[in-house]
Every structure is written in structure tokens, then in C-alpha cells.
């Protein structure tokens, strides 16, 4: 195995582009000085299209989970009824946070590997009209399901005044996101997935409707009080010390996204998803998620006749190629391939070529190259602009 080569194909953190790595190694500047003001002024307008919003995108030092907590703490108080749509491990995370805040949590459980059904949500809200917020995951990292956020937001707004609060951690910047148009109220995402940065900050967007709820909410909070970040950003500042290196890198990420073009970025992610899925189909290895809800950023594979963990170990040993295993009850049942951010169709071909070797090595009968050929065929059909 080649020392110093790690093929990081887990669903986050994802690899960091060299130019972003270089940008992050800029010398420190004062976070209350003119340089940081100028940096934030440059970043602010470029972040908006990634979220599909005219709102400022708030920049908070903390992980994605801090972002989920901020969404809960800013909008709810003990006793509030909320609905959490749980399609996997990260829906579960929302539940735990809501419980910690002593909310009255309704849990709408969806079988892992399936997407949330908007109609089920509106039916639920009709039955429990006191529900004030609906929490839903955009891409469920644990299964590779992409929930239909636009349809879910429509379904909520049709029957209720509840806020639509979305965890976009493992997909925003890799899939189309239209915060304003879809009627999302709060959207939170982290830096370490399709944003091609290390973990360390989260982004949040808040609708005008949600700001009114937040401002009226008596729930005590300080560091995660989103109004502080909104007011800071209006003056091109942050209320507390920002993770400056990540902001340096973020500026370069936004340049890369602009250079490639967001539409093309999203098309590339769909292409990588389709190549990956076609390959496993050709190898006769089951996918966890059906086509309609498969995320462009992560694919879960559910082998029927070999040990997922054995394959993970094999490709790690041979190629230092890292996949993720399953979480919770899916542990050992599935493995997950990240294809987001700094990942190309050529990288997908590499992954598949290595997987085929791994499969043979763990004793599965396959036709070598068959998965590769299927992925190549998809590439040729969809092309790259």
C-alpha cells in the first residue's frame, strides 16, 4: 500500500481540495480587524446561491450538531410540541436534542432506507394541530436517503403554521437547495461534507417567519442565540471568535463552486450517484435505497451474500480506501460510500475498480470489470459538460 495515500470515501468528512488547503494555511488575522470584515463581505453574497436564499447565511463556530441544537433552542421552549421525522440516525439526533430541551416530541418513524412521505406528515399535523415545528433531515447520512424537502414543506404549510426545520448537513452544496422557494424556515449544515472543508463551523439560514418565532421565544440561550449571529453579520462581523482558517478555506470553496457552476456541481453529484448505483446493480449487489430517493452524496449498499465489514476491511487493507459502515441497527448490515464535494467521476471509477478487487478477495463470485463497465456506460450516457 502506498504510504500517505488515503482514499477517503466516507460520507464526511470529505477530502479537501488542495487550493482550499492552501487557503486555510494563510497566516492569522485579527477577527475584529478590517481584514475579517472584508473577508465576510466577500463571503456573504457568494454563500446565498448555495442555499437558494436572499437571507444572510449565518456562520457559527461549532459542529453540525451544534447547528441542530441551535435550531431547537432558538425556536422552542419546554413543553412545546414538535414533530421529528426520523428516517435514520440523524433524525434520531434531533429527537435527543428536543428531549434534552424538554419538548413534547412526536416521532414519525420511517423505515431506514425509505424517505419520508409528505402526506403522512400532513396527516400527522392534522391530528396534532399544536405541533409548532417539524424537524426533518434533507440527506439522511446513515442511509443515503434524500428526503423530498420541497414536497414536505408544502405538505406542512398546507395544513399548519409549524416551522419547517431542515438538517442539510450531508448534502447542501452537493444537491439543489432552494431555501426561499421551497418555504424552508431553518436550514442548518456543516462544513465537512459537500462544503469540502474540515468540520468546525455550521451554516444556518432562517426565514422571516422563523425570526419572529425566535425573537418571541423565552428559552434561555447565549452562544447559540442565532439573533447574535444575524446582528453580527449585518455589520460584517461574528459575535464570538470565528474559526478563521475555515473562513479562509470557505472563500476558496465558494470560488471553486462558482468556477464549476452550481448546476454543474449538482449534475456531477447526480452522475457520481448514478455511476455508483449502476456499478453495484451490475454486480448484483443490493442497494439500500430506491432510485427515487437516493442521495447524490452518499450511497448505502446492503449486501445479501457477503459481509459488509469484511469488504470494508479488505479495501482498506489493499488500497487504504475508507468506506463507512452502518449505524445503530444497520451496523454490519450495510456499508456507505461518500461521493460528495471534492470527488470526481474518475474517483468513482477508482472506487469501483478497487471494490471489484475487494469482492474477489473476500470470495464473492463476480465478473471483474462488470461494475466498472456499468458505471462507464452511465458516464457516457450522462456526459459531463
Contacts of 185 (CB under 8 A, 6+ apart): 163, 164, 165, 206, 207, 209, 210
Is-contact 142 334, C-beta < 8 A?
A: no
Grid cell locating 162: 409549524
CB of 351 to a second copy, least distance (A): 9
The backbone region for 55, taken as left when phi is positive above 0, alpha when psi lies in -120 to 50, beta otherwise, is beta
3-state secondary structure of 212: helix
Candidates 262, 310, 357, 362: give the one binding a second copy (CB under 8 A): 357
The residue range among 59-67, 147-155, 290-298, 318-326 that interacts with a second copy, by the rule CB under 8 A, is 318-326
Distance CA 177, CA 51 (A): 5
270 annotated among ligand-binding-site residues: no
Which one, 7 or 310, has the nearer CB to a second copy?
A: 7
Which one, 237 or 245, has the nearer CB to a second copy?
A: 245
Grid cell locating 309: 465489514
The residue range among 44-52, 103-111, 199-207, 349-357 that interacts with a second copy, by the rule CB under 8 A, is 349-357
Handedness of CA 98, 180, 230, 241 (dihedral sign): positive
Which one, 4 or 208, has the nearer CB to a second copy?
A: 4
Candidates 44, 228, 370, 382: give the one binding a second copy (CB under 8 A): 370
Distance CA 221, CA 226 (A): 9
Closest C-alpha among 169, 176, 194 to residue 70: 169
Q: 10 Å Cβ neighbour count for 129?
A: 11
Distance CA 17, CA 23 (A): 10
CB of 169 to a second copy, least distance (A): 21
Q: Is residue 49 close enough to count as binding a second copy by CB under 8 A?
A: no
Q: Is residue 346 close enough to count as binding a second copy by CB under 8 A?
A: yes
Q: Is residue 356 close enough to count as binding a second copy by CB under 8 A?
A: yes
- Strand runs labelled E in 90-247: 104-109, 133-137, 139-140, 145-146, 163-167, 186-190, 201-206
The residue range among 105-113, 141-149, 197-205, 313-321 that interacts with a second copy, by the rule CB under 8 A, is 313-321
Candidates 34, 54, 369, 381: give the one binding a second copy (CB under 8 A): 369
Q: Is residue 362 close enough to count as binding a second copy by CB under 8 A?
A: no
The residue range among 58-66, 182-190, 303-311, 359-367 that interacts with a second copy, by the rule CB under 8 A, is 359-367
The residue range among 57-65, 106-114, 223-231, 340-348 that interacts with a second copy, by the rule CB under 8 A, is 340-348
Is-contact 203 188, C-beta < 8 A?
A: yes
Which one, 109 or 318, has the nearer CB to a second copy?
A: 318
Q: Is residue 1 close enough to count as binding a second copy by CB under 8 A?
A: yes
Q: Is residue 311 close enough to count as binding a second copy by CB under 8 A?
A: no
Q: Is residue 286 close enough to count as binding a second copy by CB under 8 A?
A: no
Candidates 25, 41, 102, 328: give the one binding a second copy (CB under 8 A): 25
Contacting a second copy within 138-197 (CB under 8 A): none
Contacting a second copy within 241-270 (CB under 8 A): 256, 259-260, 268
3-state secondary structure of 164: strand
Size of site (CB under 8 A) for a second copy = 47
Closest C-alpha among 132, 134, 84, 129 to residue 110: 84
Which one, 67 or 358, has the nearer CB to a second copy?
A: 358
Distance CA 348, CA 337 (A): 10
The residue range among 96-104, 150-158, 210-218, 360-368 that interacts with a second copy, by the rule CB under 8 A, is 360-368
Alpha-carbon separation of residue 183 from 5, 108, 364 (angstroms): 43, 21, 47
Closest C-alpha among 182, 91, 90, 70 to residue 134: 91
Contacts with a second copy by CB under 8 A lie at: 1-5, 7, 17-20, 25, 256, 259-260, 268, 318-319, 321, 342-347, 349-350, 352-354, 356-357, 360-361, 367-377, 379-380, 384
Task: Please report, in range form, the residues annotated as the binding site for substrate.
Answer: 336
Amino acid at each position: 500500500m502506498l504510504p500517505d495515500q488515503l482514499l477517503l470515501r466516507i460520507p464526511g468528512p470529505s477530502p479537501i481540495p488542495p487550493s482550499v488547503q492552501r487557503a486555510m494555511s494563510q497566516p492569522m488575522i485579527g477577527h475584529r480587524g478590517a481584514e475579517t470584515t472584508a473577508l465576510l463581505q466577500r463571503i456573504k453574497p457568494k454563500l446565498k446561491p448555495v442555499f437558494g436564499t436572499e437571507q444572510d447565511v449565518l456562520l457559527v463556530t461549532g459542529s453540525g450538531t451544534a447547528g441542530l441544537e441551535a435550531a431547537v433552542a432558538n425556536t422552542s421552549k419546554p413543553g412545546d410540541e414538535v414533530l421529528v421525522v426520523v428516517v435514520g440516525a440523524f433524525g434520531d439526533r434531533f429527537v435527543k436534542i428536543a428531549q434534552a430541551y424538554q419538548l413534547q416530541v412526536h416521532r414519525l418513524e420511517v423505515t431506514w432506507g425509505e424517505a419520508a412521505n409528505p402526506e403522512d406528515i400532513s396527516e400527522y399535523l392534522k391530528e396534532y394541530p399544536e405541533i409548532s415545528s417539524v424537524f426533518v433531515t434533507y440527506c439522511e447520512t446513515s442511509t443515503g436517503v434524500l428526503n423530498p424537502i420541497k414536497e414536505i414543506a408544502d405538505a406542512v404549510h398546507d395544513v399548519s403554521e409549524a416551522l419547517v426545520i431542515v438538517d442539510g448537513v450531508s448534502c447542501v452544496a452537493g444537491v439543489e437547495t432552494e431555501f426561499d422557494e421551497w418555504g424552508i424556515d431553518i436550514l442548518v449544515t456543516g462544513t465537512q461534507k459537500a462544503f469540502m472543508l474540515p468540520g468546525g463551523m455550521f451554516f444556518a439560514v432562517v426565514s422571516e417567519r422563523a425570526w419572529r418565532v425566535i425573537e418571541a421565544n423565552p428559552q434561555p440561550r447565549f452562544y447559540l442565540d442565532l439573533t447574535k449571529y444575524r446582528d453580527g453579520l449585518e455589520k460584517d462581523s461574528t459575535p464570538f471568535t470565528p474559526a478563521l482558517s475555515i473562513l479562509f478555506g470557505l472563500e476558496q470553496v465558494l470560488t471553486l463552486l462558482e468556477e464549476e457552476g452550481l448546476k454543474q456541481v449538482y449534475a456531477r453529484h447526480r452522475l457520481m450517484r448514478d455511476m455508483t448505483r449502476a456499478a453495484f446493480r451490475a454486480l448484483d449487489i443490493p442497494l439500500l435505497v430506491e432510485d427515487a430517493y437516493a442521495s447524490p452524496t452518499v450511497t448505502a449498499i446492503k449486501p445479501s451474500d457477503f459481509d459488509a465489514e469484511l469488504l470494508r476491511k479488505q479495501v482498506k487493507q489493499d488500497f487504504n480506501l475508507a468506506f463507512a459502515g452502518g449505524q445503530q441497527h444497520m451496523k454490519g448490515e450495510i456499508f456507505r460510500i461518500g461521493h460528495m464535494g471534492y470527488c470526481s467521476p474518475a474517483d468513482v471509477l477508482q472506487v469501483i475498480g478497487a471494490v471489484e478487487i475487494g469482492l474477489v478477495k473476500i470470495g464473492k463470485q463476480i465478473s471483474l470489470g462488470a461494475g466498472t463497465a456499468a458505471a462507464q456506460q452511465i458516464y457516457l450516457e450522462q456526459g459531463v459538460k
